[in-house]
Amino acid sequence: MSDCLSSAFVSSRPACGLGEPGKSAKIVNGEEAGKGEFPWHVGITYKGRFYCGGAVINDRYVLTAAHCVYGINSNRLGIVAREFDRGNPNDLDTLVLKPQRIVIHPNFVRDTFENDVAVVRLDRALPLSGTGEVPPVCLPGASDIHNAFVNETGVVTGWGRVLESGQTSKTLQKVGVPIMSNDDCKTKTSYEAKEILDSMMCAGYKEGGKDACQGDSGGPLHWKSPSGKQYLVGIVSWGRGCARRGLPGVYTRITKFLPWIYDNTPDGCYCREREPRFG
């Protein structure tokens, strides 16, 4: 019997999307996240050097951007969980794992960032609750597949650059940005309409000033539900510069990939029963 179906797991099924309270809501012009506020956020390293982010979605898998792992020797990669301050080498809470398998979306287009999504199977299961826990972020449900989250505030997290030409942050940062409709992103920004595809979503201020930046790629864009749970609605994908006026951040739209995500994480234990089959 799968561990996910064991009576022990079902009876104590942990909740997703719940971290420790943080400050009100360096990413560009963001603020330091609270330690444990986004416990599912992981760092991805190459030869020990941090370069991308990701999010734990169940006990076995991390979701990230395809461009973060495309053409990369997986033997050189590390997945760092329970990290907050990258500048603290004495942090005993940190958990370093290796990727056992990487699945890149088969229709990922490197030049356009279309279908910029990948799942990474970890070399061992993470504890979702209890000692050393790594609670996962929630995925949208079947009822959300047509929800574009327009005008909602998305919170993006990462250790990326705090300025376009600046240094990466040592501590995990967060920033809130308004989610736009794709029509507005095509017609009211400096992007060409053909650049913004249905599998993408845009988030940012018209005047710029707040954004994800280099090093934040693959990290999560969150939406907080009325119940207080954090849902993964976007993956940091691309943008022109960082926090520039008229150039919001562009994210992979998670609701477009839910069936693919579930199909490629068959042995992962989710915090709730899977939604009914999509489509």
Strands 220-224 and 118-122: unpaired
Give the span between the Cα atoms of 108 and 101, in whole angstroms. 17
Q: Active-site residue among 67, 144, 216, 222?
A: 67
- Cα dihedral across residues 269, 270, 271, 272: positive or negative: negative
- Residue 168: strand pairing partners: 161
Active site residue 116: yes
Q: Collapsing DSSP states into helix, strand and coil, what is residue 268?
A: coil
The two three-digit tokens of residue 12, written as one number: 């104590």
217 a catalytic residue:
yes
Active-site pick, 41, 59, 216, 217: 217
User: Which entry of 41, 59, 105, 116 is annotated as an active-site residue?
Assistant: 116
Of 224, 85, 96, nearest in space to 156 by CA? 224
The verdict on whether 67 is a catalytic residue reads yes
Residues belonging to the chain: 279
User: Two tokens at 241?
Assistant: 């510069």
Closest among 260, 221, 213, 242 to 52, alpha carbons compared: 213
Q: Point out the residues that are catalytic.
A: 67, 116, 217
